């Protein structure tokens, strides 16, 4: 495995804008070299075998072969790279899935550049890194609670929701964040997209859902009015 200098990276994300933004941002550092990009789990498996990166930055929720299956396949090979999961949400099931697959860490896409680069260096040296959101999600899940603050969105419903309303993946992600109380600026930061793009997605989303307000959009989302950990404890 690589030392902390010249770490080679394979960036995996099905959203081209996000993938290229991450690759460009990391490519500005002398410590990292992005040697490849993949838009799917299947492509990630192929490129990892050919390019032999030190670290794979793996999106978790992707059509077809998801990040968990791709990580498990890559890590089953000799001299496998380290894998750092990079996801929009710290969903407990996805965090545990990546850990079970052998990933060295899990951080959310709203992490700062300093946190991301530190995590890459750590997993490149066989360390394990989980950001605060991932740790809270795992702790809440082990207690049968929803993490403090905003509830952790249920990504298991994403494919079904997209098919039901003919939504794109990013429209479903925007809807999920709206349902959990995020404003437009927070959605922009969480998804690595421009504020104007958020507004465009919301317009398309509302049109497809046939709603006119955020409240109406929340009402259609499964599992609305999430209970916080503190409220759940008081009910026990």
> Where does the chain hold its CATH 1.10.10.10 domain(s)?
155-220
pLDDT of amino acid 170: 83
CATH value of 7-139 in 3.40.50.620, 3.20.20.70, 2.60.40.680, 3.40.50.2300: 3.40.50.2300
Q: What is the distance in angstroms between the CA of the first residue and the CA of the last residue of the chain?
A: 48
- Checking if the pLDDT of 138 tops 50, the result is yes
- Checking if the pLDDT of 206 tops 60, the result is yes
Q: pLDDT digit string (tens) for 55-88?
A: 999 999 888 899 999 999 999 998 999 999 998 8
C-alpha distances in Å from residue 52, one per residue of 36, 104, 224, 230? 10, 17, 43, 46
Q: Name the token pair of 75.
A: 């890590």
Task: Count the alpha carbons within 13 Å of 18 in the hemisphere toward its beta carbon.
Answer: 25
Band (36; pLDDT cuts 50, 70, 90): very high
Band (196; pLDDT cuts 50, 70, 90): confident
Residues linked to residue 83 through DSSP beta bridges, in sequence order: 56
Comparing 182 with 102, the larger pLDDT belongs to 102
Comparing 46 with 229, the larger pLDDT belongs to 46
Question: If you average pLDDT over every residue of the chain, what do you get?
Answer: 81
Fold of 155-220: Arc Repressor Mutant, subunit A (1.10.10)
pLDDT of amino acid 50: 96
Specify whether the CB–CB gap between 56 and 81 falls below 8 A.
yes
- Checking if the pLDDT of 232 tops 50, the result is no
Average pLDDT over residues 29-45: 95
| Residues above pLDDT 70, as percent of the chain | 81
What is the pTM for the complete model shown?
0.61
Phi, psi of 19 (to 5 degrees): -60, -45
């Amino acid at each position: 495995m690589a030392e902390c200098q010249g770490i080679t990276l394979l960036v995996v994300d099905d959203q081209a804008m996000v993938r290229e933004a991450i690759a460009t941002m990391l490519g500005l550092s002398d410590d990292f070299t992005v040697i490849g990009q993949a838009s799917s789990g299947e492509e990630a498996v192929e490129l990892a075998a050919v390019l032999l990166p030190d670290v794979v930055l793996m999106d978790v929720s992707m059509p077809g072969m998801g990040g968990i299956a791709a990580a498990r396949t890559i890590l089953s090979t000799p001299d496998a790279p380290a894998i750092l999961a990079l996801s929009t949400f710290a969903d407990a099931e996805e965090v545990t899935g990546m850990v079970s697959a052998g990933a060295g860490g899990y951080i959310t896409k709203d992490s700062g550049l300093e946190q991301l680069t530190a995590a890459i260096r750590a997993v490149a040296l066989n360390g394990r890194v989980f950001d605060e959101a991932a740790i809270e999600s795992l702790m809440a899940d082990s207690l049968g609670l929803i993490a403090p603050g905003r509830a952790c969105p249920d990504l298991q419903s994403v494919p079904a929701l997209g098919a039901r309303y003919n939504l794109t993946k990013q429209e479903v992600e925007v809807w999920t964040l709206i349902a959990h109380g995020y404003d437009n600026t927070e959605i922009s930061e969480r998804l690595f997209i421009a504020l104007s793009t958020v507004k465009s997605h919301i317009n398309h989303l509302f049109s497809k859902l046939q709603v006119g307000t955020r409240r109406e959009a929340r009402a259609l989302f499964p599992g609305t009015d999430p209970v916080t950990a503190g409220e759940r404890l008081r009910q026990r």
